[in-house]
Structure 1
């Protein structure tokens, strides 16, 4: 298990070193972002649905994921009062939301096999309803950073929000697979065979993308704000993990997967939204990388410690 998590960490470090050897440029991570969000992650989502049984009771996990993402957003809004508006936005966007599909999915499947993917995806369906667009809308509205958005007609505002959601292929795939669950649709074997190589590449592409995004910010204020976000996330992760372990009506294996998911890092969407609202791309990328490394360490330790056969 240590070698499994170590191999993922080595991919992050290797990509970071290759960037500093000028084999990759500062913005080359955009290529891997495109591959992960539009190809490898959607294929991994489909493969997990196609190769695992669908228990309708797992819809409770979807609801749990929604509250696990939404509630911290409002807590940080209240708790960050007194800070500068840009840094409040940074805290709200980065202290809430779980990087489940792009990060936790490959990590948990590495630890526990392909069957561990479905609970993570169900958790991410609820999480993604907030993290993929809702957190941006809520943050810029509460902090009055919405510019001309509030002056637009209601129809245009709704259209813009819906575009934020459905322009994400990963989110669309989540919704499609959820419809398949309700409709009892089975994905044909030839399609499973075609998507398997892309799904298997998801872990490598995700870790390499994180390594290429990593860059240490120059400002001490930026580093202090990152420390605040890490503290927020650790508190929320512990609360979510305890709630998942003691409240969710599932066996110990699924509850362990939920606990591991609780310690997932900052989402890619949060880094994108941070950049668009505050213009601080360096802090956004470094924050995700730091929390990704911390998450990998914590998830490895929890997997070893939890009393699950």
Structure 2
């Protein structure tokens, strides 16, 4: 229990350091986004390569990928229903912000901090399904909601998905696993050094992007979306622990996955489908704090 509390406090302190650097003018939100690019291009793929030597192609992989896709579809539908009487752009923004999961910049660093490297393989399995939706199909679904006459742009979705360095990293590991190979040891040693910075940079970046100043007109929207995310996450957690035929460690990793906050790309996607408010950025910040608090409490009892 003491270790869980200590790690959670350290998490908050790193985020607070990033937040204070922005508040004092040492860094801007744009600097935080630049750090995010470094994470996505370098430290996150290296963290994946150094921790996930191979992917076990079996029942656990199928369950993890299926759960991620199922969770996103349920969340998209829930978000849409919450705003069904609103304008199409608001409906699309609700769906996108209810559905997305921040695995690369939150769940993987969180799992790195609390669990051994073996655990990252399970959260990475969840992220394969999450990436298929979050980096590809979700935006198309959001665009279709915002513009009923539009059709799915499969080509653009696939291009976006396969241009993601973390997703391509999963594909490389998967291909090696198919042929019975793991990541070469020389690659593991190099990527381990770079990937070691992933947790700190991810939490620090999140701190620089935190924003809680929601306009009064959008405060109710933020509350509804965050509450919906919590309810869905708790329902999925019950499903994971009561139904899925998995060992405790993969169950813990999948719980971290479904409890993750809103993805960092969601504000951009919300803007692309026509929403012009501040709600997506606020949902991301609030859901981040809520996720850490809930996961820290759950880890005390798991």
Residue in structure 2 matched with residue 42 of structure 1 by the alignment: 45
Partners of 1:84 and 1:281 in 2: how far apart?
13
Return closer, same or farther for 1:280/1:32 CA change in 2, 3 Å cut-off.
Answer: farther
Q: Which of the numbers 107, 113, 117 marks the counterpart of 2:116?
A: 113
Q: Secondary structure at the match of 2:26?
A: coil
Q: Which of the numbers 11, 14, 26 marks the counterpart of 1:11?
A: 14
Q: Which of the numbers 84, 87, 90 marks the counterpart of 2:90?
A: 87
Partners of 1:35 and 1:145 in 2: how far apart?
37
Question: What pairs up with 1:23-102 in 2 under 5 angstroms?
Answer: 23-50=26-53, 54=56, 56-59=58-61, 60-102=63-105
After the TM superposition, which parts of structure 1 deviate over 6 Å for at least 4 consecutive aligned residues?
none
Deviation at 1:279, TM superposition (A): 5.5
1:158 aligns with 2:154: yes
The answer on whether the counterparts of 1:210 and 1:288 sit within 8 Å (CA) in structure 2 is: no
Partners of 1:117 and 1:176 in 2: how far apart?
16
Q: Which of the numbers 252, 255, 258 marks the counterpart of 1:259?
A: 255
Residue in structure 2 matched with residue 243 of structure 1 by the alignment: 239
The answer on whether the counterparts of 2:261 and 2:291 sit within 8 Å (CA) in structure 1 is: yes
Partners of 1:83 and 1:273 in 2: how far apart?
18
Q: Secondary structure at the match of 1:19?
A: helix
Deviation at 1:83, TM superposition (A): 2.0
Residue in structure 2 matched with residue 185 of structure 1 by the alignment: 181
Partners of 1:29 and 1:124 in 2: how far apart?
23
State the superposition RMSD in angstroms: 2.0
Deviation at 1:283, TM superposition (A): 3.3
Residue in structure 1 matched with residue 125 of structure 2 by the alignment: 122
The answer on whether the counterparts of 1:215 and 1:282 sit within 8 Å (CA) in structure 2 is: no
Return closer, same or farther for 1:105/1:198 CA change in 2, 3 Å cut-off.
Answer: same
Partners of 2:139 and 2:294 in 1: how far apart?
28
Partners of 1:217 and 1:275 in 2: how far apart?
18
The answer on whether the counterparts of 2:50 and 2:192 sit within 8 Å (CA) in structure 1 is: yes
The answer on whether the counterparts of 1:47 and 1:195 sit within 8 Å (CA) in structure 2 is: yes
1:141 aligns with 2:137: no
The answer on whether the counterparts of 2:19 and 2:210 sit within 8 Å (CA) in structure 1 is: yes
Return closer, same or farther for 1:209/1:284 CA change in 2, 3 Å cut-off.
Answer: farther
Residue in structure 1 matched with residue 165 of structure 2 by the alignment: 169
The answer on whether the counterparts of 2:92 and 2:145 sit within 8 Å (CA) in structure 1 is: no
Deviation at 1:280, TM superposition (A): 4.1
Partners of 1:27 and 1:101 in 2: how far apart?
19
TM-score (norm 1): 0.89
Q: Which of the numbers 292, 296, 300 marks the counterpart of 2:292?
A: 296
